[in-house]
Amino acid sequence: MTRRTLVLGGARSGKSAHAEGLLPADEEVLYVATGRRDPTDPEWTARIDAHIARRPHTWRTVEASRELADVVRAAKGATLVDDVATWLTGVMDAAGAWEGAGLDLVRREGAMLVEAVAATEARVVLVSSEVGLGVVPHTRSGRLFRDELGALNTALAQRCDEVLLLVAGIPMRLR
């Protein structure tokens, strides 16, 4: 049985909806939302609300920022994390790592998440962006984020039983 799944994809590839479809709609699922609400950004709020609206009523949502590894480690039932890239953005913000300082903390947080995914007995589905297929970012911070997320996705993929890549809404099984 698949216990740990990583669902990768680009922007608007359908990765979140596909990941949601991997878990039972009629059972309790812990939906771990990593996107922080910003009351000054109505477009972002609308995106969050659209995600909430399509979730089954049996699912429970928690918001997790820095404590994501703890939430995954403590999970008892089916758990969906959406998404790792947004979580990493928050970790990099908190560490002040956008210019390269604070990367030790970012990498420790990432390693703790990977360890939690490996250790949990729960069924876990992780959603993350695949940012390595595009152009090389123009800014240092963009390249840094791409590199850090790529390394984290690689480490998570090594711990997952199943890895899927969505392209234009079509899932492809990598493992």
Per-position DSSP letters for 111-171, written without gaps between them = HHHHHHHHH--S-EEEEEE--TTSPPPSSHHHHHHHHHHHHHHHHHHHH-SEEEEEETTEE
CB 13 within 8 A of CB 166: yes
Pairwise CA distance, residues 82 & 5, whole Å: 12
Whole-number Å distance between alpha carbons of 154 and 134? 17
Structure tokens at 151: 């390394």
Alpha carbon distance 66, 91 (integer Å): 6
Angle between helices 103-119 and 140-159 (to 10 degrees): 20
Residues with active-site annotation: 51
Angle at 166 between CA 162 and CA 171, to 5 degrees: 65
Concatenated DSSP letters of 15-27: HHHHHHHTS-TTS
